[in-house]
Structure 1
């Protein structure tokens, strides 16, 4: 028994000796860029079941900027499963005339788009088919049907942008052709056949409206061969392409948030090597491509989300879309069925707070293993924020030093918020200070996220005013 106690003590001492204190230094005088909003979601805020609450307020609270219409599902009261944004659901009879408005079933998709618009986000339309618990209804477009399929897509856009078929004038810009064609579960044809489908569809859409932004291929994983192949095909055949898109998922073993940086670099290298000056979009991401399980809602999943959002700021990704917003039959949802926040939703909320200070400042402390930091200041220079996320390190805390505060020696308020197993981004510490430098040492055990804000204190009396 005594030996066991001694062993436990030695192990405890060894673990403490191994634990690190991370030095985080912020220089308010050194601006390195802008903190960009990459708060996109897959699937809009409408609940999948009629008795569940919609998520319009939640989307607004975390600042969702774009919503991709992929994986959209809606069950009816009599448990009929519908896919409002799949082409075969909008246009049920594939042999019908695509020029006839009566051949379209727009009402369910209309509700989805209206809900997205109500949140203040912009729709990003995926033209294709969903896989939600079963294979997509369509996994191949015959060569002789490509033109008809493209015409159907065109008339769908006309409905939402030009009022066709009692439609709307939403001026939706972005349209992505298909989803994961390098995944046999979504595309049963060859690579060349997908390129040819893209060719036909992009030409039809651009002829109708050259201002639309058309792209793909929305690959499963980075899919470099498909991305490069599509770009080369478009160059050789003079096919319009405005962006490329791809997906990235980690796994529940490595929980590798930095994978997004490595993947983005590969995509950008392809674009550069082929002399394409177009953006690339990450149109799906999450902690796992299969059911995330507990990581879809627990604190490690929340820290992964925060670190992922921070790491993306070090990439050339122009738009990003987490998979997904509403809960379905897996743990991918950012919120629970009843609309309450999961830990990853609080991570998005923390980053929304960071976006309120968009002038990015030099900040040390990040590594490539899931420990990520970012700092910014507000446009008026009266607020500084620091976001720190630790997915899985053995660090025991950090020393934070913030130099060259923009308000000099004026007073300021310090606030620290905590996201861990016991706290949901709650204010856990506050204080008032007078100095041009701020320093603090805090305990931080993975997995957790901390958000710190320094706010210039406004004069409260005539004698305090300059």
Structure 2
């Protein structure tokens, strides 16, 4: 899995620096087992405007979504209940919601506003990531309570949900319109569920069981764990909501198609660690090896979706969450700094086993514009949306960066093995993704630092220079550059400015067969055992001639923990057996070098 590759490659300092500040980045051939760029191109809300009370000029951004390559839209946070259970299943006007009547009666189901919104997805060519649940709040009518309040309302809600899913799965005479079904969001929390956690587990399990039996072809999951629950899993907490939730499903012999978690953190590495921990939770491994399904494989095949993620505008200071000032918020929500953070997150998620992700959010929540001055106390800066709430739906740098992500997914389907994060000798980081198609390469980079950084590239053993490549186009997203028109590389050192996103498209030189045979490097091959249980590293090495090799072992923090500087190799194939020092259980990275090349591989100890 990409996740296993990631744990070594993510934090590993894969940089033999030529200078104090220069990154030396090497991208390796795709992992044969798992090498597809994932369609992490979802957004929450839009394309049609939010509740009209939020502003008369809030635009429909269907065209803008199409231009940047949005694939999925998750229906949440419109604040008007059009596509939420409160409004679609409503019995009377005495209370709101009102779920104590017969859901079999068509008079209690209301699809006028919801049909309009759902149609905007299909008309725009977007895949509905269909969320079945309630809304945080409505601008038109206050919610009297959150979620079903007793067994009668639970039963009615589930019956109505079946009607809703059937209606939209066969929308406008089409068949099998839906693929993804998301039961609930933002759990736990009083904004969506006002009863006990245990009551929710039972309700969700019952709803899932019924919906899955009626619609077995849909990918059904949830519940959208809140960031606090995600943080608990990051910290290996056994007494946590996700553990209790999965335990309830396990005890009921239920297995979701996917689980969804939410997170807002400006450090991309946290997304990789969260994905690893959730996978350990599902597998019953690592911090979660004492859970009842450990070793059973019960939750094998359950996918991970990050159904809400984005940048954070708060900081934990001495245990207290403190909000950033308006100028800092503006730099994150509306400027190139935020685009760089989001791109780092997207790169990180590509090197996990997360298969779908939705950014919060696509469409603007209210009226806003690009000319607002964040230093003016009276100004109203835009929030986390990709577009401003002006009549033109003006894109922000984050929208242009999203467009580069979709270009990678659309045009370069094979994911190269990457350092993911390169760290130079001064501790400054670059986030890197490599991809390829049949002819060309793409390298997506994000500089989250406040200073420019230099780097060099090697792609599949070819140094990126004008001797090996006919052309290198550089697309760059900043506050003043939309990244739509590339500049052609001159051949000098690569430089990425501060808080900037770059996409490099590399066109290799084409050579004749005879020249290619002459240029082909001598084969230096390594096939290594990926799991070590006896403390002995085993590898089959093929050297084209007698040579002297060196071996280095790194841990997941990029620290070199073992070096064997001299290993004689004879010509041809041979077996290496190297006794390692006592190492703790976990994942490690090996590097074997000789005059014919460098080979890297990962291995596990004690698994």
TM-score range, shorter chain: 0.7 to 0.9
Selected match of 1:266 from 258, 273, 277:
277
In structure 2, the gaps of 5 or more residues are: 1-18, 92-98, 234-239, 285-292, 315-322, 324-328, 367-381, 512-607
Distance 1:370 1:158 in 2: 49
User: Are the structure 2 counterparts of residues 295 and 289 from structure 1 closer, same or farther at C-alpha, using a change threshold of 3 Å?
Assistant: closer
Q: Map 1:441-456; keep pairs closer than 5 Å.
A: 441-455=493-507
Distance 1:67 1:394 in 2: 35
Equivalent residues of 1:147, 1:200 under 8 A apart: no
Distance 1:245 1:137 in 2: 27
Report Cα offsets for 1:367-393 as digits up to 9, x if no partner: 488621011111xx2221111101125
SS in 1 for 2:35: strand
1:145 corresponds in structure 2 to: 153
Report Cα offsets for 1:51-96 as digits up to 9, x if no partner: 54322222222222222111124xxxxxxxx221221111222233
Distance 1:262 1:365 in 2: 13
2:436 corresponds in structure 1 to: 377
Distance 2:457 2:484 in 1: 19
Distance 1:168 1:158 in 2: 11
Distance 2:144 2:278 in 1: 30
2:39 corresponds in structure 1 to: 37
Distance 1:57 1:363 in 2: 33
1:61 corresponds in structure 2 to: 67
Distance 1:458 1:427 in 2: 25
Distance 1:83 1:354 in 2: 35
- TM score, norm. by length of structure 1: 0.82
Distance 2:492 2:413 in 1: 23
Q: In angstroms, what is the RMSD of aligned CA positions?
A: 3.0
Selected match of 1:303 from 320, 333, 340:
340
Are residue 354 (structure 1) and residue 352 (structure 2) matched? no
Distance 2:453 2:216 in 1: 55
Q: Map 1:241-320; keep pairs closer than 5 Å.
A: 241-250=256-265, 255-273=266-284, 274=293, 275=297, 276-277=299-300, 278-288=302-312, 293-320=330-357
Distance 1:285 1:69 in 2: 14
Selected match of 2:449 from 373, 376, 392:
392
Report Cα offsets for 1:379-426 as digits up to 9, x if no partner: xx22211111011254532223345569x9887322111112322215
Equivalent residues of 2:145, 2:194 under 8 A apart: no
1:23 corresponds in structure 2 to: 24
Equivalent residues of 2:90, 2:108 under 8 A apart: yes
Equivalent residues of 1:62, 1:349 under 8 A apart: yes
Selected match of 2:189 from 183, 187, 194:
183
Q: Map 1:68-79; keep pairs closer than 5 Å.
A: 68-73=74-79
1:79 corresponds in structure 2 to: none
User: Are the structure 2 counterparts of residues 202 and 370 from structure 1 closer, same or farther at C-alpha, using a change threshold of 3 Å?
Assistant: farther
Q: Which one has the bigger helix percentage?
A: 1
Q: Map 1:49-448; keep pairs closer than 5 Å.
A: 49=52, 51-73=57-79, 82-93=80-91, 94-131=99-136, 138-141=145-148, 142-162=150-170, 169-221=175-227, 222=230, 224=233, 225-250=240-265, 255-273=266-284, 274=293, 275=297, 276-277=299-300, 278-288=302-312, 293-329=330-366, 331-337=383-389, 338-355=392-409, 356-364=411-419, 366-367=421-422, 371-378=430-437, 381-392=438-449, 394=451, 396-402=453-459, 404=461, 412-427=470-485, 429-430=487-488, 440-448=492-500
Point out 4+ residue stretches in structure 1 off by more than 6 angstroms.
29-32, 408-411
Report Cα offsets for 1:94-148 as digits up to 9, x if no partner: 2332112232221211122111122322111212122258886542322232111
SS in 2 for 1:186: coil
Distance 2:272 2:246 in 1: 21
SS in 1 for 2:456: strand
Structure whose alpha-carbon radius of gyration is higher: 2
- TM score, norm. by length of structure 2: 0.64
Distance 1:431 1:397 in 2: 14
- The count of residues paired between Structure 1 and Structure 2 equals 420
Distance 1:412 1:216 in 2: 47
